[in-house]
Structures are given as C-alpha cells and as structure tokens.
Amino acid sequence: MLSTLKTTKLIVAEPVTPSNFKPFGGVISSKEQLETAKQTSANYGTATKLYNVSPIVCTHEDAKAQWNMFRCSPPLHLITDHTEEDGGFTYESRVLERHPHSTQTFLPLGRPADSIAYMVIVAESLDDELKLPDLREGKIKAFTVRGDQAITYNNATWHAPMIALNDVTDFAVFIHETGNNSLDTEEVALETLTVEFSLEKHEDPVNRKKQSEEEFLEEKEKYKGPPVIPTGRDKTIQNDNNKTEDVGAITSGDPRFDVKQLKYSIERAYYTREYKKCVELCNAFPQDHKMFKEIEQVREKAQDKCT
C-alpha cells in the first residue's frame, strides 16, 4: 500500500462512452463504435471489422500477455440503497489500484446487453514523485457500464477493484503480468470516497431526484460524509489503526446484515490488509455454516500476517 489518502468527496457516476472514458483508457462498445471507428467488410461480406477499438500497452520486457478470469460479486457491504428516498444508490470506495506497466481489459460475460452490469471508478495521477491519484474535481470519475461494453484501463491509470452490480458477473481479463505482484500492481487506501449511481440506464441521480443542476450542486456542496447506519452494541473489533469498530449488527440478527455480507466484509478486510479486523470478523462467522472451513482458512492467513 503506497499511501492512505484523506477524502470525503462525493462524485456522481455517469453512463460510460468511448469519448468520456478516453482520458482513462478505452471502451469496447459496438453501439457507439460502429458510428465512429475505422472499419471494413470482412468474412466475405458477412462481418464488419472495426479497427483498434481499445488500447493495448506493455512497457515491461518481462511481462507476458495472458487472459485471466474474475468472478465478481456485488460488494453489498459497500452499497447503500436509497431508492425509498430518491431512487438512487451510493457506493463507498476504499481502495484504488493501478498496473504501472500494462493496460487491463475487462470483458463481461453473459450479462444482458441493455442493463447496467458494473461500475468503474478511475482517477488521473498527480504530477509528483509517487504519481498518487488526483482526487480533485474532474480528475476522478465514476462510470456505469452496460453488459455489452468492455473497459480497458490505460497502464498506470488508478481504478477501483471491479464493482459488479445486480448479479455475480464473470469477466475475461486481458493483461500483461510479470508474476511479481509488487511490480504488477500498486495500491492506495481511501478514507471515504462516496459514489452516487443509478441502475437505470442513461439516467443520473440529478434527473431521478427532479433537481436542477444548481440544486444538485448546492446539495453536493453541503455533503459531509456517507450515511451512518446504526448498529447493535454487543460486539466490537479493534482495527489495524487501533480504533474500535462496532460489528454488533452482524451478530445480533439485524436483517440488513447476513452471512454473505459478513463474508464480503472478511474478504475486503483481508484485501485491504486490515488483518486484525479480518481475524475478528472471521471469529464472528457461524461455525455451523457451510462456508466456515473457507473462512477459517482466511482467518489463519490473516492471523499469520498479524504476527
């Protein structure tokens, strides 16, 4: 982890297009690119070939091209449903990563073409020695993506881990890797970055709330942080920053938290290297559950990291 960045920023996701995503990489989207990309007839007139629809870059001589598969579950522990209030959702982003030497393409498999299948968060880099993410207005953005669109991140573009929406989604992922994780991937932690998004295609939260642009900007200016969900008080954990966190709701029967959400929280704590928190969450996992053995393996790995 290169750094932990302080932010209470609120950004609003917009539907992705090849043009608005261009500063961060490429979008493979036939609906748009059939109108703009260089093309020719192919396969004896039964196909149309579109040229150079997305960038491919590798700057490390030891990195090899390969296809990987990611099965991504919606991060329910980071998503809050506000549909009863205004029809929208918020997502709390805690980590950004980048691949310094390679572009990375995510190709969703099996999702409906016209539905919102996933969301991406991207940021430009500061002009400093570490090239950390630039969190200023217009430099960090979020995009909702349809099931018939693939995304390519430019090499060294900061981005959030993949955010599947609505359903578990398989992605075929093309990247060049050396096999050395410290060379292939760099990460930073975020204190709080809130993204407001809609699952309704081509309709942003401003329109759904029937606000004018001025009203939305005024609300955005007053925004202080994410909504707080009250929890029970029967269990607390000590996180890696020696701050006490309440996880009572997870073990007190609160209907908003279930075993699947607890599993997501465990995986996120391990992924963000909050190993003490991960161990405590694993200890709260019910021993009679079918996933207990899997969680116990995570707990043992996290415990080893703590010592």
Q: pLDDT class for 99, splitting at 50, 70, 90? A: very high
Q: What is the mean pLDDT of the chain?
A: 80
Whether 181 and 141 have beta carbons less than 8 Å apart is answered as: no
The reply to whether 49 falls in a domain is yes
**Domain span at 177:** 4-208
How close are the terminal C-alpha atoms of the chain, in Å?
19
Q: Tell me the pLDDT tens digit for each residue of 175-191.
A: 999 999 989 999 999 88
137: CATH: 2.60.120.480
Question: Per the structure, how many domains does the chain have?
Answer: 2
* CA dist., res. 263 & res. 257, Å (int): 10
The pLDDT score that the predictor gives to residue 215 is 64
> Comparing 64 with 134, which gets the higher pLDDT?
64
- Do the domain assignments include residue 216? no
Whether 239 shows a pLDDT value over 60: the answer reads: no
Helix (H) or strand (E) holding 84: none
Per DSSP bridges, beta strands 150-153 and 47-50 are unpaired
Q: How far apart are CA 101 and CA 103, in angstroms?
A: 7
pLDDT (tens digit, 9 = 90+) per residue, 133-162?
A: 888 888 899 999 999 999 999 999 999 999
Q: Considering the domain boundaries, does residue 170 fall inside one?
A: yes
Query: Could you tell me the CA-to-CA distances from 180 to 59, 99, 101, 138 in Å, in that order?
Result: 15, 12, 12, 33
Q: Token pair for residue 138?
A: 């217009």
> Mapped to the 3 state alphabet, what secondary structure does 78-96 carry?
HEEEECCCCCEEEEEEEEE
Q: What one-character DSSP code corresponds to residue 66?
A: E
pTM above 0.85, yes or no: no
Same domain (yes/no): 9, 132 = yes
